[in-house]
Structure 1
Amino acid sequence: MTLISDNLKTKIEDLAIFGGKPLFSEKQHVGRPNLGDRTQFLNRINDMLDLNWLTNRGPFVKEFEQKIADYLGVKHCVSVCNATIALELAIRALELTGEVIIPSFTFIATAHALQWQEITPVFCDIDPITHTIDPDKIESMITPRTTGIIGVHVWGQPCNIEALTTIAKKHNLKLMFDAAHAMGCSYQGKMIGSFGDAEVLSFHATKFLNSFEGGAIVTNNDELAEKLILMENFGFSGLDNVIYIGTNGKMSEVCAAMGLTSLESINEFIEINHQNYQCYQQELKDIKGIKLFTYNQQEQCNYQYIVLEIDEEITNISRDKFVDILTAENIIARRYFYPGCHRMQPYKSYFPHAGLLLPETEKLSNKVMLLPTGVNMNPDKIIKITDLIKFILDNTCSIANKDNK
């Protein structure tokens, strides 16, 4: 039993943070794994064990790559053990060096994948509406050492791909995308995955479509794909024949089996996410100081994130206090991407004044809060969460007074 019945909040002493019973008996996570058909997955595991082929580009990996490529309408999909390795391989395969421009409002792996290879991430500010890198701020950051741009499709919201492509071509820069959030999303009617020189996908357990752990690089560039296949397997081209420098980035057969099973349920996962999003949208509309990130209904979207911006000046309660209160109720709300890559090490030491150039990133990283969604959520749970949010907003002064005692 997940819900605790008869636990409506009627006074602030009912809040779990002040000693009341939590609204949920089990933690409600932002990224609790979605599971496909268990029987189908176990059938694949039995087939894998019967075949006795566990890794090294087995039949499930090849099938998974082909089905991802077909789904996205892209020529090549190279699966890897996780999306961080995918970023590192794509960066190296594209021969990026010197400086690469990225947003600071992203998961730290985007920056680390560059710095790990002694490439300097140059942090660019974001568009406050789309939450993605602002093309208007990029050209002023280009130097003679700049070799590329990495756009990040945040929440599945595509970057302004057209503008980034124009800038990259104008300055002869490589362009790739961190599409970890964007599996199943589209831009101008075309699926994310085939833009730029390459795009990187994540199939981590917390993503709406998972392979336990995994990632992929997708591209229409034949030469790049050939290079990536070599790089993910130590540079081997056939038996005992190493022709390129590489590492061990291969996806295992068990992960590919999970990925295939997830892919078979992708439409169901997206539909549930969409229903959850619509429920949150209905319940949180017209609430001052609370802004729900909205998705473009003209495009395909995975709706895997429920993103709120909390305006403390209007609500009289900080985003962080909101997170603390919800967490005590077993609603594991999350701050993303707090505090921004530029405020994490080693970048905080390298670029101590970066925040001055990133005002929108600074504002957003202190406003954003993510709420639970996925197949484990339903309208009853969502209404309990949104009713609690309304209760908190109605009692901000009382909460502040009790905190100060």
Structure 2
Amino acid sequence: MINVTKTFLPPQAEYQTILKRAWKTGWMTNRGILVQELEAALKSYLKVPNLIAMTNGTLPLQIGIKALGLTGEIITTPFSYVATVSSIVWEGCTPVFVDIHPDYLTIDETKIEAAITPSTSAILATHVFGNPCHVEAIESIAKKHNLKIIYDGAHGFGVTYKGQSLFNYGDVSTCSFHATKLFHTGEGGALICKPAYYEKMFYHHNFGHDGPEAFYGLGINAKMSEPQAAMGLAVLPYFESILKERKAIVDAYNLAFQDSDLQLLKIRPETEWNYSYFPVVFKDETQLLQVQQALNEASVFPRRYFYPSLDRLPYVNGRVCETSGTIASRILCLPLYVGLEEEALNKIINSILNNI
């Protein structure tokens, strides 16, 4: 069975060796030595000024919204994983959807200003499949209208744009370390923010504590555990080899489909991408379903990222975004992971070419 992704697992002995250090201290949570070490390693690797490791990739979004004091409307994208929008609603704000660019699949920056009202407090945009938003245009709009910027960078680990980490843009950037991601901690995530916001973000993720018996203010439990951090420390040394193997698979897909009618993801110029996903867009949903059925019959299971378009969620009253809706109905992410063998890759490619 060939699934859309497969978790990269480092040698178990290496993971256990790291975890033994926590075992010796008896300290499994509450920011032990491994969490602190992982944060330092990630700050160094990503070249970001600060980073808070968290227990999943959704809490950083919720904490970012809470700590920035956002209220009212937040402009966002309808083409993302549901956590982007559910976090806005969960924190008592209203998502206002702006349609996406048909090639980059990120929020269409030319449509943002028309959606701004006196109730708008922020822009929360997703770097879809690790493809950067037009960060310069979004920053200009935010400054003009005194808005905060949060980037959902769940897919953005290792991506650089114009020579620096994608996480260095915006007031807050978030990342997911879920087991399906390129870099992972089994389950986990991180929040990166401007230095001025760091202290508040930090205490929000740790119940609001100021030492063991005092509190800065409101907080929640978003702390990463030592077993999670141990996995991250075991995976990180392999990240460059992970990128290399995924790039080879992406190159093979691109070569196979370059003369087909499939729409492939257009990466924004001046981006060093991370090969996080390989989406293809079919001419219509009927063709997608036909190909999906053929792949499933061959024991290949791609996934419809992202479907449905989030403006169709039952708990939002979103304006209909036509581009997002049509892309969501026609897009399929193909299997892409370390260890995907050439025979399997050829089976996927041939099955698709024979059914379009």
- Identical counterparts, % of pairs: 33
> What TM-score comes out, normalization by structure 1 length?
0.85
Deviations 1:156-214 (A, max 9, x none): 10000000000000000001100001100011121111111010010001111110000
Q: Is the 8 A contact 1:310 1:319 kept in 2?
A: yes
Aligned to 1:303: 275
- Cα shift at 1:296: 5.5
Which residue, out of 247, 256, 264, partners 2:237? 264
Paired with 1:34 and 1:95, the residues of 2 have a C-alpha distance of 37
| Counterpart in the other structure of 1:61 | 35
1:36 Cα deviation from its structure 2 partner = 2.3
Q: Secondary structure at the match of 2:168?
A: coil
Partner residue of 1:376 out of 333, 339, 345: 339
What does residue range 5-44 of structure 1 map to in structure 2 within 5 Å?
26=1, 28-44=2-18
TM normalised by structure 2 equals: 0.97
- Give distance in 2, aligned partners of 1:170 and 1:37: 50
C-alpha deviations, 1:44-97, integer Å up to 9, x for none? Answer: 122221221100000111111111111221111011111111100011111111
Residue matched to 1:106: 80
Two-structure CA RMSD over aligned residues (Å):
1.4
Q: Which residue identity is paired with 1:384? A: K
**Paired position in structure 2 for 1:169:** 143
What aligned pairs does 1:198-217 form with structure 2 within 5 A after superposition?
198-217=172-191
In structure 1, list runs of 5 or more residues that go unmatched.
1-25, 394-405
Name the CA distance, whole Å, in 2 between partners of 1:48 and 1:185.
31
**Structure 1 residues 186-265: aligned runs within 5 Å:** 186-221=160-195, 223-265=196-238
AA matched with 1:153: H
Contact 1:149 1:176 in 2 (8 A): yes
Aligned to 2:154: 180
Q: Partner residue of 1:328? A: 297
**Moved segments of 4+, more than 3 Å:** 294-298
Residue 219 of structure 1: how far off its partner (Å): 1.9
Counterparts of 1:335 and 1:120 in 2: how far apart (Å)?
26
* Change over 3 Å in CA distance of 1:321–1:178 after alignment to 2: same
1:337 offset after TM fit, Å? 1.1
Contact 2:156 2:175 in 1 (8 A): yes
* In 1, Cα distance between equivalents of 2:170 and 2:122: 11
Q: How many residue pairs are counted as aligned between the two chains?
A: 356
Q: Which residue of 2 aligns with 1:277?
A: 250
SS of 1:180's equivalent? coil
The separation in 2 between residues aligned to 1:243 and 1:339, in whole angstroms, is 40
Counterpart-to-counterpart distance in 1, 2:72 and 2:240: 41
The 3-state SS of whatever aligns with 2:124 is strand
Q: Distance in 2 between matches of 1:30 and 1:297?
A: 27
Shift of 1:381: 1.6
Per-residue deviation, 1:225: 1.1
